[in-house]
Amino acid sequence: MKKSFKKQILNRMCYLSGHLEGIKKMLKNDKYCIDIIKQNEAVIAAVAKVNEMILENHLNTCVTQAIKGRDKKERKKKIKELLEIFKNSKSKPGPLRGRNSSPPFRVGPSTKGQGK
């Protein structure tokens, strides 16, 4: 991974860490449930964007090198890894499905009392 790209990703991860801390404070301070869910959705979208950026970098570096190279084993390995990503992405939000592909929470009666 290029140094400048790694720095960009690390900056986004630091932002996400701060965002999660803010959500924890919201929970501790009994903020409105829907506001908390909206903030969680923002974090989910931001993580998906980070994954998308990392995947793009992977395709442009590791996968491209494997395809251009002569090592058939390495090429098959990279293709298998990508297929795994596609298979896993079918059941959850991420860079290959989008943030609204599955609900972030279960809809139904709560067993833990009433929310705000």
Encode pLDDT of 5-33 as tens digits.
999 999 999 999 999 999 999 999 999 99
The DSSP symbol for 112 reads S
Residue 26 lies in a domain: yes
Q: What is the pLDDT of residue 112?
A: 47
**Which pLDDT tens digit goes with each residue over 74-104?**
999 999 999 998 888 776 654 544 544 444 4
- The residue segments making up the domain with residue 76 are 3-89
Residue 46 has pLDDT above 50, yes or no: yes
When divided into structural domains, the chain yields a total of 1
CATH number of domain containing 53: 1.20.58.1000
Q: Cα(96)–Cα(86) distance, rounded to whole angstroms? A: 7
Q: What is the pLDDT of residue 40?
A: 96
Q: What is the pLDDT of residue 51?
A: 93
CB atoms within 10 A of CB 78: 20
